[in-house]
Amino acid sequence: MLGLDRSIEELQAQQAALEQEFSARFRRAVAATRESLADRIDTVFAGRKQIDEELLDQLEEVLIAADIGVTTTLEILETVRRGVARKQINDLDALKLAIKTELLNILQASERQGVASETTVPENVSPYVMMIVGVNGVGKTTTIGKLAQRIKAEGNDVLICAADTFRAAASDQLAIWAERTGVPLIQQKHGTDPAAVLFDSLKAAKARGSEVLIVDTAGRLHTKSNLMAELEKMKRVASREVEGAPHETLLVVDAVTGQNGLEQARQFLKVAGVTGIVLTKLDGTAKGGIAVAIAKELNLPIRYAGIGEKVDDLVVFNPQQYVDGLFGN
């Protein structure tokens, strides 16, 4: 018994250390956005004592420059102006706190609309089917590698389905990730109907007793209507083979593409039944404010953030951690 207790404590300590490490890496990943947002807010505030229209206008510019988006920024400013008029916001500290609170509220509101923020694989669903969608180059395949590793480490039997059969290289790239993470992969020759590869994978997952099936998909945009029809067909196949599948459809959005990425995301929302967002390449942009625009305008929870190209560069997105990361505390 004693030994067991100790190992639970050890596990908890290990978990805490891991979380701290992730938190530190996340902070580093959003450093450029922090400079563009919080540091610029400080510059706007420097040497001022009172809140006037000029100050609020400058603040508006800073928020838009960080890619928080015009609509979202105007709403934040409206709330702030109301607070100023009602004398609830009387000084610069209160103003900064109000902005932080607004950003957090937006991110948390979208969180509540969706599923829990951890990959909680229900006991009674097998396989739990996760489809990963998004345009080419946003980081789908890389995210699948990272997710496979993570979900496997959480004690699940994972299988990957290579349903991006459009590009020959896509399957090879996925095979490298599968090998690296020690997760089996179902693939077929280039050009095969993606729904057929998915069908095979669902059968294989059932036969093997895999707990989670992660499905890579194509993302070519120039034949948009075909792509959307293809995704719909895949969803039909999934739901026919496994009740409630796909249980999760994650839309991958590249933070570097900012407002363009948001526009592309809207195309997918029309058909793909997206349940959450993976925001990749947060480490490569000073415009990480896009997370707020996504949460507000797409009203979907950001489940994970990509913070690099390596297998453990994926963190569960945490709104509080994100806002703290942006404001340097």
Ligand X SMILES: Nc1nc2c(ncn2[C@@H]2O[C@H](COP(=O)(O)OP(=O)(O)O)[C@@H](O)[C@H]2O)c(=O)[nH]1
- Residue 114 interacting partner from Mg ion, ligand X, none (CB closer than 5 to 8 Å by kind): none
Q: What is the DSSP string of 161-176?
A: EE---SSHHHHHHHHH
Compute the distance between CA of residue 107 and CA of residue 89 in angstroms, rounded to an integer. 22
Interface residue with ligand X, options 114, 137, 184, 328 (CB under 6 A)? 137
Pick between residue 141 and residue 275 the one whose CB is nearest to ligand X.
Answer: 141
170 binds Mg ion (CB under 5 A): yes
Q: Minimum distance between the CB of residue 202 and ligand X, rounded to whole angstroms?
A: 21
Give helix 319-327 / helix 2-29 axis angle, nearest 10°.
50
For the CB of residue 164, give the shortest distance to Mg ion in the complex, in Å.
5
Rounded distance between C-alpha atoms, residue 32 and residue 39, angstroms: 10
Q: Which of 91, 56, 90 is nearest to 73 (CA)?
A: 56
Q: Which does 284 bind (CB under 5 to 8 A by kind): ligand X, Mg ion, none?
A: ligand X
**H helix intervals, the chain:** 2-29, 31-34, 40-45, 53-65, 70-85, 92-113, 140-153, 168-181, 194-208, 224-241, 258-271, 290-298, 319-327
Q: State how far the Cα of 258 lies from the Cα of 2, in Å rounded to an integer.
A: 52
Q: Which residue is nearest to ligand X (CB)?
A: 306
Q: From the list 142, 165, 201, 321, which residue makes contact with ligand X (rule: CB under 6 A)?
A: 142
Separation between Cα atoms, residue 219 and residue 237, nearest integer Å: 19
Min. distance of Cβ 262 from ligand X in angstroms? 16
Question: Which CB sits closer to ligand X, 27 or 208?
Answer: 27
Selected range binding Mg ion among 75-83, 133-141, 242-250, 267-275, rule: CB under 5 A: 133-141
Interface mask (CB under 6 A) for ligand X, residues 21-60, using x and -?
A: ----------------------------------------
Q: Is 309 a binder of ligand X (CB under 6 A)?
A: yes
Question: Smallest distance from the beta carbon of 141 to Mg ion, in angstroms?
Answer: 3
313 binds ligand X (CB under 6 A): yes
Q: Residue 276 and residue 291: Cα distance in Å, rounded? A: 12
Partnered with residue 316 across adjacent β-strands are: 304
CB closer to ligand X out of 36 and 280: 280
Is 308 a binder of ligand X (CB under 6 A)? yes
CB of 211 to ligand X, least distance (A): 23
Closest CA to 35 of 72, 71, 65, 73: 65
Q: Does 141 bind Mg ion (CB under 5 A)?
A: yes
Whole-Å CA distances, 234 to 141, 198, 220, 266, 285: 17, 7, 16, 19, 33
Q: What amino acid is encoded at 61 in this protein?
A: E
Residue 306, binding choice from ligand X, Mg ion, none, Cβ under 5 to 8 Å by partner class: ligand X
- The count of residues interacting with ligand X (CB under 6 A) is 18
* Smallest distance, ligand X to C-beta of residue 98, A: 31
Residue 147 touching Mg ion (CB under 5 A): no
The interface with ligand X within residues 58-117 (CB under 6 A) comprises none
| Cα–Cα dist 311/259, whole Å | 27
Q: How far apart are CA 292 and CA 302, in angstroms?
A: 9
What residues contact residue 291 under an 8 Å CB cut-off, 6+ apart?
107, 255, 279, 282, 302, 305, 317, 322
| Binding segment toward ligand X, per CB under 6 A, in 107-115, 118-126, 188-196, 278-286 | 278-286
Q: Which is nearer to ligand X, 128 or 177 (CB)?
A: 177
Question: Which residues contact Mg ion by CB under 5 A?
Answer: 140-141, 170
Question: Which residues contact ligand X by CB under 6 A?
Answer: 134, 136-142, 219, 280-281, 283-284, 306-309, 313
